[in-house]
Amino acid sequence: MHDRSRWGRVIVATITAGAVLLTPGRQPPPTRAGAAPCATAASGETLLFTSRAAGAAGAAGAADLTLFAADPARPSAPRALVRALPDFAAVAPSPRGRYIALTEGARGLWLVNSDGTDPRRLLPAPPPAPGPTGTYYINAVAWSPDRYTLAYAVTQPIGYPRYPAPPRAAPDGIWLVRYDGRSPRLLASNARLGVDGIGRLSYAADGRTLIAVAGQGRGADNLAVDAATGRATALPGAAGAADDVQASPVAPRLAYLAVVDVPVPGQPNTEDADEGLYVADPDGHRRAELAQTTLATDIRDPVWSPDGRSVAYIWGGSPDQALKEIHAVDVATRRVRTLVRKPPRQEFMSLAWMHCRV
């Protein structure tokens, strides 16, 4: 089994909520570097990814990541956009490629132009509170197809055992905010959803449904939760120990990672666990495996292309297990191609794929 943290519960939340405001604050901005990614993109699309030195500790608050942009048609020369990002940054481009949202953990939620200019903090992380860590992070973000709304996740780093019940006003959960920073409001609390934390967010193509990869204790399962009623149902399209689930931007389809049991050569009746990259309808139909790891490789962060025809992912392998290539697989043909290779002593951390239609 690959050694990686897994967020085991998938939540599908219809967008309704009450209103709670976060307290503003001040933090130093990330630094800018590079040129506009959309200005020269021949394909009208751009890959966004963060990278750090392989094996770096990535302690909380450390600023060791760089956000890069690469044209999938000419991926050999990625351009640095934003430097000095913390290790846990997540990336969400706006639907037309004008802005890029960045989560910076305890430093909050940031927005930059697609060329890396004008970094500004939309929201700070909530202030410290009682609990095993005392610190809240903003650690996941997604941009609605309506072009105006951002969804983001507030959580404390998970510890076991966690405190029995969060304080009444704890901000843990899924939040919504306008791209200009106005009117942040709590969509659904972690306590209401029955989860410890949320690790990834994505919007369905219709803009009315939000996919959230979450965890509860040490278990793993997948739920569909109506945020208006709180009723939960199974999400068969990502059944079992699914991870890194993301909704297609153009159709009701899911991409996700799931464990694959494979025979061990020379050992009858013995199986080992690899991972497969799958796509499926939300109801579980039309399920197909697109790629599979081996014992010496790893896959992370599957993301759909803007046209919904391909799924890109970060890939790593021997000898150092660094995540050092970005692959894309065609959903119809299952043809795999390498989009970006990183230099030695670097590895990828997060991935996004955006349109370049300002």
pLDDT higher at 302 or 190: 302
Q: At 15, is the pLDDT very low, low, confident or very high (cuts 50, 70, 90)?
A: very low
**SS3 readout for the chain:** CCCCCCCCEEEEEECCCCCCCCCCCCCCCCEECCCCCCCCCCCCEEEEEEEEECCCCCCCCCEEEEEEEEECCEEEEEEEEEEEEECCCEEEECCCCCEEEEECECCCEEEEECCCCCCEEEECCCCCCCCCCCCCEEEEEEECCCCCEEEEEEECCCCCCCCCCCCCCCCCEEEEEECCCCCCEEEEEHHHHCCCEEEEEEECCCCCEEEEEEEECCECCCEEECCCCCCEEECHHHCCCCEEEEECCCCCCEEEEEEEEEECCCCCCCEEEEEEEEEECCCCCCCEEEEECCCCEEEEEEEECCCCCEEEEEEEECCCCCEEEEEEEECCCCCEEEEEECCCCEEEEEEEEEECCC
What does the pLDDT look like over 194-207, one tens digit per residue? 777 778 889 888 88
Find the mean pLDDT for residues 272-277.
Answer: 72
pLDDT of residue 341: 78
From 1-5, 26-30, 68-72, the region with the lowest mean pLDDT:
26-30
* CATH classification code of 9-355: 2.120.10.30
Which one of 54-63, 127-136, 286-295 scores highest in mean pLDDT?
Answer: 286-295
From 126-130, 238-242, 244-248, 288-292, the region with the lowest mean pLDDT:
238-242
Find the mean pLDDT for residues 278-298.
Answer: 83
Find the mean pLDDT for residues 308-322.
Answer: 77
For residue 355, give the amino acid letter. H
Mean pLDDT of the chain: 74
The whole-angstrom separation of Cα 317 and Cα 156 is: 31
Find the mean pLDDT for residues 324-353.
Answer: 85
pLDDT of residue 30: 40
pLDDT of residue 357: 57
Quote the percentage of the chain above a pLDDT of 70. Answer: 63
Q: At 8, is the pLDDT very low, low, confident or very high (cuts 50, 70, 90)?
A: very low
pLDDT of residue 321: 56
pLDDT of residue 315: 84
From 2-16, 39-53, 77-91, 120-134, the region with the lowest mean pLDDT:
2-16
Find the mean pLDDT for residues 326-343.
Answer: 88
pLDDT of 103 > 90? The answer is: yes
